[in-house]
Amino acid sequence: MNLVVVSNRVARGKANEPMTGGLAAALLPVVEKSGAIWVGSSGRVRDGLHKEPFAEIESLGAGALALLDLPAAHYGGYYEGFANSALWPALHSRSDLIRVSADDYRSYREVNAFMARALLRFNKPDTAFWVQDYHFLALGAELRELGVTGPIGFFLHTPWPERGVVESVPRHRELIEAMLAYDLVGFQTEQDREHFLSYVRAELELAVQDDVVLSQHGRTRFSVFPIGIDAEKFAQNAAKAVTHPDVSRLRRSLNGERLAIGVDRLDYSKGLLNRITAFDRLWTEHPQFLRSVSLLQIATPSRGSIEAYGNLQNEVAKRVSDVNGRHGEVDWTPIRYLNKGFGQGVLAGLYRTAQVGVVTPLHDGMNLVAKEYVAAQNPADPGVLVLSKFAGAANELDTALLVNPHDIDGMARTIVTALSMPLPERRMRYEAMMEKLSGHSIQQWFADFVGALQDSQSSKVVAEPLLADSRSLWTLRASHGRARYH
């Protein structure tokens, strides 16, 4: 099989380059090894006059990386507009932040159609396409329109919210009907899949049988594939990183003081304001932790031209400065606040230096920082993970200290518990989490999805209609493996 992976953001195979977002960092090592072609945005735009849309095609491990300049006229409406000012807020249950126009939707669809046309160059008889994330919900349907009949899969890295929230997205029905052109749709958690299927049943009035939906596009399977990391490799990197200059400097600067660490994109889904308020509460209610525990918060700026993000950047900076102003001393800063990204190697060393990892999003598809923090720990003296129960990772990392990020007092109390936890309990929790991480590696995730995508086509035969009501009777026949109705 000739695999083509598609995502908006891609990563280059350069060691220790800072990377924004979990998707690109997670995919890089597995895509490199698989020999797949990885297609994504170059981050640049150009007008529509050029015949050849690819800016660069370079080798990436055993495969290739193909970077596409997206159309200038539609990029803003697609990326800042529909993808990140309608879909992202809704997917993270923040319908109140939806700000889009009909033009933004048009641009989103134009970019999806543009990507589909560009992908035809890689379409061979044995090609399978694997589309990543909410930027390309309609890409499968566009590929089918262009006559692609091979397997097309989709994986959503974010949560999928309840039906009422989905209905707050303009043109939601069209988009979700378009998603039924995929052969396989993967989610991070069982709850995400359930939310999606309940929309399909109620809004599209389609029946779901054994997690399969038959629609005018044919048959789509909905499955759960929680994304993982290469925990062993991350652990090795963390052990090596102690000699990295940034890590050594951090260690020296601590002077025996203990450290909590948070690493996030600067996004309203990450619960940064609540987290900082919880640390404020900790130092106010438990003054014994003044000067003895500090927080290193790395917050990489993201999507800054969108109003909600600009506002958040200001609010977080203000709250940090307020807390530092009240609790700081001439020789002690409670919160070290950094607005820049770090390479994976350095991050591993920073995680290992911290006795507490705080991963407290309000909503998160998986949150690989939680997994990386655990994997980076020294097995003989591991730190403690404080994890939001609203991160997908909480399903697997259930021996972390789970918190409700809306409960500030509860979070402050849990940080105290983490700081006071005896070594045997820390080790017991760490070992249980490492066992889960080793059992669900990123390699396994990749192989499971690709295997299921292959099966989704080979199992395609004449199928009975599965409409919830019997208003129309469809006859389905296999056409190059893809069931179609006529």
Residues acting as catalytic residues: 157, 364
Q: Residue 302 interacts with ligand F6P (CB under 6 A)?
A: yes
Q: Which of 289, 217, 268 is nearest to 485 (CA)?
A: 217
Strands in 348-450 per DSSP E: 356-359, 384-388, 401-403
Q: Contact, 91 vs 160, CB < 8 A?
A: yes
Nearer of residues 8 and 297 to ligand F6P, judged by Cβ: 8
Residue 18, phi then psi, degrees to nearest 5: -60, 140
Q: Which residues contact 232 (CB under 8 A, 6 or more apart)?
A: 375, 438
Q: Which of 24, 34, 48 is nearest to 4 (CA)?
A: 34
d(CA 221, CA 151): 12
DSSP 8-state symbol, 79: I
Q: Residue 70 interacts with ligand F6P (CB under 6 A)?
A: no
Stated length of the chain: 486
Nearer of residues 66 and 259 to ligand F6P, judged by Cβ: 66
| CB of 365 vs ligand F6P, minimal distance in Å | 5
Q: Residue 21 interacts with ligand F6P (CB under 6 A)?
A: yes
Nearer of residues 156 and 197 to ligand F6P, judged by Cβ: 156
| Residues β-bridged to residue 212 | 209, 221
Q: Residues 16, 20, 42, 101: which binds ligand F6P (CB under 6 A)?
A: 20
Nearer of residues 269 and 377 to ligand F6P, judged by Cβ: 269
Q: Which residue is nearest to ligand F6P (CB)?
A: 21
| CB of 89 vs ligand F6P, minimal distance in Å | 13
Sheet holding 54-60, edge to edge: 54-60, 63-71, 37-46, 2-6, 127-132, 152-155, 184-187, 218-224, 212-215, 208-209
Q: Using CB under 6 A, which of the segments 14-22, 55-63, 169-177, 278-286 binds ligand F6P? A: 14-22
Which residues, 106 to 135, sit near ligand F6P by CB under 6 A?
133
Measured at the CA of 231, the angle between CA 190 and CA 225, to 5 degrees, comes to 20
Q: Contact, 20 vs 31, CB < 8 A?
A: no
Q: Contact, 338 vs 298, CB < 8 A?
A: yes
- Distance of alpha carbon 135 from its chain centroid, rounded? 12
Q: Residues 9, 46, 121, 286: which binds ligand F6P (CB under 6 A)?
A: 9
Q: Using CB under 6 A, which of the segments 17-25, 54-62, 277-285, 438-446 binds ligand F6P? A: 17-25
Q: Contact, 385 vs 370, CB < 8 A?
A: yes
Nearer of residues 190 and 464 to ligand F6P, judged by Cβ: 190
Q: How far is CA 95 from CA 25, 201, 325, in A?
A: 28, 22, 34
# residues near ligand F6P by CB under 6 A: 14
Which residues, 149 to 168, sit near ligand F6P by CB under 6 A?
157-158
Nearer of residues 133 and 280 to ligand F6P, judged by Cβ: 133
Structure tokens at 263: 């690493």
Nearer of residues 263 and 412 to ligand F6P, judged by Cβ: 263
Q: Residues 23, 28, 385, 411: which binds ligand F6P (CB under 6 A)?
A: 23
Which residues, 227 to 286, sit near ligand F6P by CB under 6 A?
265
Q: Using CB under 6 A, which of the segments 18-26, 98-106, 111-119, 273-281 binds ligand F6P? A: 18-26
| CB of 406 vs ligand F6P, minimal distance in Å | 21
DSSP 8-state symbol, 467: B
d(CA 220, CA 205): 15
Which residues, 341 to 400, sit near ligand F6P by CB under 6 A?
365
Which residues, 442 to 461, sit near ligand F6P by CB under 6 A?
none
Which residues, 217 to 236, sit near ligand F6P by CB under 6 A?
none
| CB of 19 vs ligand F6P, minimal distance in Å | 9
- Where on the chain is the footprint of ligand F6P (CB under 6 A)? 8-9, 20-24, 133, 157-158, 265, 302-303, 365
